[in-house]
Amino acid sequence: MPTSPGRNRCALEGPPVSFEAYRREANKDLRSLVVISVQEVPQQQQPQGSNQDQLLLEAAAGRGGDVDNTNNNVNVDDSRFDVPTETSQSNNGGPGSSNSNSNNNRAAGAEILYQDGGAPNGAGAGLLNASDIFSTTASIDLDMKLRSLLNCHDRDYEPYIGQRGDFWVMKNYIRAEHGELRCHETITYTTHADYTFLDNLIPLLERSCNTPGYRSQVPKYDKVLEPPFNCSLPAPYFNVSSSQLYKTQKKLLYPVNVGRNIARDAAMTHFILASDIELYPNPGLVHKFLEMIVRNEPVLQRKNPRVFPLSIFEVDSSSPVPRDKTELQELLRTGKAIPFHKRVCSSCHGVPKSKEWMAANETDDLGVFHIGKRVGYFVHWEPIYIGTHADPHYDERLSWEGKSDKMTQGYALCVLDYDFHILDNAFLVHKPGIKVLKKDPKRAMLAAKTNQLIKKIIYPELQVMYGSRKGCAV
């Protein structure tokens, strides 16, 4: 993958594997689950001469879809998703409003909002001075400060083959050339997919870190590489009926949470962004996040456990994926971008203080915009966030087809009284195409069965494991 001058280049592993070659082989036996970890490698650890893309595949089930990526406009009366206009921005007296013409400076004394009405330890009435929030880290040894603050433990980087439920896992089967990574030095983006979603790797790798490396394992990869492939021929996965797929014939479900947990457990870093492969983070997120951690503001010293959710958006198919908040705001104003799943499941991804977040001007640094809770209107919120290995796992009995696959973990976070530190200049954007709800009777039946599984079995288990808390629900 080409890189820009002055940027870290990608640290990728193993022999090159053509996507087309893999798709051709995989089409014979569609049971592959891609589990990927993307980690930004510091400049001093970048390998020489390593520039091949590589895939990490685990034996599992394929995946279909039931959501159309179209641009049909649907009016939804939900004030949480009102797109701010220029007038509303100028009249907005809440967080993020500014009397300055500059987008690069935050008003002095900017207030951090707390959904629970509390204030950080030592933060007085919850007010942080701009100088405290955005103090420069140029003179600070970032590496040493992170190591001291996080006090994490480096994880072994050894190959492992073992069984996880119904699946065999080959961990670090082909290891990256960067070798050992220290737990404090970057963030690992973990994700999952089947082979039909691998086209998302290119934009994901270009944006997620200033050039990532990702581990990979490919079952039978040596056989995939043997026969040459005539690229002038039609792709072998086109014009294939769903009834011909192994997944359909065997009535398999996509084990979404198995993939999430495998990828997360393989991460070598303290911080993890467990995401979906079609969600692209804004560039520069990793470095700015670590700088924020180093500043160790009072808001980060609250006693409660915490995660750092990212606001998520969709853009229409004719629009480029925005690279920063200013570009995103322009797309929101013109109606070319909307909050994620606004037309599919608005309550699942509605973020506290979303209107204020969208109206707030972009700043140079990253900070905590608002501290929310998964209660009240947001009791069914399914955030995607930067967390750690200490956070609860996803329940592996839940499938993608059955929906609600992140709800049980959200309940655990609520009962454990997690703070949701919503970041002000960080966001995810779905692969272009506005999603609209499409009826799927078969999936509706699976969703009903999943709801019963959660209600009768999983929810009682969660109460035994974590207890209960007023306002928390699955």
State pLDDT tens for residues 227-246. 777 788 887 767 777 777 78
In the predicted structure, residue 269 carries a pLDDT above the cut 70? yes
Indicate whether 45 and 188 sit together in one domain. Answer: yes
160: phi then psi, degrees, rounded to nearest 5: -150, 135
State pLDDT tens for residues 107-148. 333 456 555 544 444 443 333 444 443 444 444 588 889 999
pLDDT computed for residue 35 by the predictor:
65
Indicate whether 38 and 161 sit together in one domain. Answer: yes
Q: Which residue has the higher pLDDT, 210 or 402?
A: 402
State pLDDT tens for residues 35-81. 666 665 555 454 444 433 333 333 333 333 444 444 444 333 343 33
Q: Which of 205, 239, 265 is the last residue of a domain?
A: 265
Buried residues in 345-379 as b, exposed as e (16+ CB within 10 A): bbebbbbbbbbbbbbbbbbebbbbbbbbbbbeebb
At residue 104 the predicted structure's pLDDT band, cuts being 50, 70 and 90, is very low
Q: Which residue has the higher pLDDT, 138 or 451?
A: 451
- Tell me how far CA of residue 361 lies from CA of 18, 135, 393, in angstroms: 42, 18, 35
* 14 located within any domain: no
- List the end-to-end C-alpha distance of the chain, in Å, as a whole number: 42
Indicate whether 58 and 73 sit together in one domain. Answer: no
Indicate whether 348 and 444 sit together in one domain. Answer: yes
Indicate whether 133 and 176 sit together in one domain. Answer: no
Q: Which residue has the higher pLDDT, 129 or 445?
A: 445
Highest mean pLDDT among 47-56, 171-180, 399-408: 399-408
* 385 located within any domain: yes
* 432 located within any domain: yes
Residues 188, 175: Cα–Cα separation, whole Å: 15
Residues 13, 54: Cα–Cα separation, whole Å: 6
Residues 174, 56: Cα–Cα separation, whole Å: 9
In single-letter form, the type of residue at position 60 comes to A
Indicate whether 309 and 402 sit together in one domain. Answer: yes
In the predicted structure, residue 173 carries a pLDDT above the cut 90? no
* 285 located within any domain: no
In the predicted structure, residue 450 carries a pLDDT above the cut 60? yes
**Which of 41-50, 342-351, 413-422 shows the lowest mean pLDDT across its residues?**
41-50
Indicate whether 255 and 326 sit together in one domain. Answer: no
Mean pLDDT value of segment 396-416: 96
In the predicted structure, residue 202 carries a pLDDT above the cut 90? no
Residue 65 token pair: 């879809």
State pLDDT tens for residues 106-115. 433 345 655 5
* 237 located within any domain: yes
**Which of 5-9, 64-68, 293-297, 349-353 shows the lowest mean pLDDT across its residues?**
5-9
Strand partners, 59: 32
- Tell me how far CA of residue 459 lies from CA of 50, 117, 401, 418, in angstroms: 47, 29, 19, 18
pLDDT computed for residue 11 by the predictor:
36
Indicate whether 190 and 113 sit together in one domain. Answer: no
At residue 225 the predicted structure's pLDDT band, cuts being 50, 70 and 90, is low
**Which of 87-91, 162-166, 301-305, 437-441 shows the lowest mean pLDDT across its residues?**
87-91
* 314 located within any domain: yes
Q: Which domain holds residue 359?
A: 68-147+300-466
* 224 located within any domain: yes
Indicate whether 384 and 326 sit together in one domain. Answer: yes
Indicate whether 321 and 440 sit together in one domain. Answer: yes
At residue 82 the predicted structure's pLDDT band, cuts being 50, 70 and 90, is very low
Residues 378, 46: Cα–Cα separation, whole Å: 42
* 58 located within any domain: yes
Mean pLDDT across the chain, nearest whole number?
75
Indicate whether 227 and 103 sit together in one domain. Answer: no
Residues 342, 320: Cα–Cα separation, whole Å: 19
Q: Which of 215, 243, 265 is the last residue of a domain?
A: 265
Long-range CB contacts for residues 372-376, cutoff 8 Å, separation at least 24: 372/115, 372/309, 372/419, 372/420, 372/422, 373/115, 373/116, 373/414, 373/419, 373/420, 373/471, 374/410, 374/413, 374/414, 374/418, 374/420, 374/472, 375/115, 375/414, 375/471, 375/472, 376/471
In the predicted structure, residue 88 carries a pLDDT above the cut 90? no
- Give how many domains the chain has, as a whole number: 2
Single out the residue of 450, 468, 361 nearest to residue 130, CA to CA. 361
Indicate whether 86 and 137 sit together in one domain. Answer: yes
pLDDT computed for residue 294 by the predictor:
94
Q: Which of 220, 247, 265 is the last residue of a domain?
A: 265
Cα three-residue angle 354-103-91, rounded to 5 degrees? 55
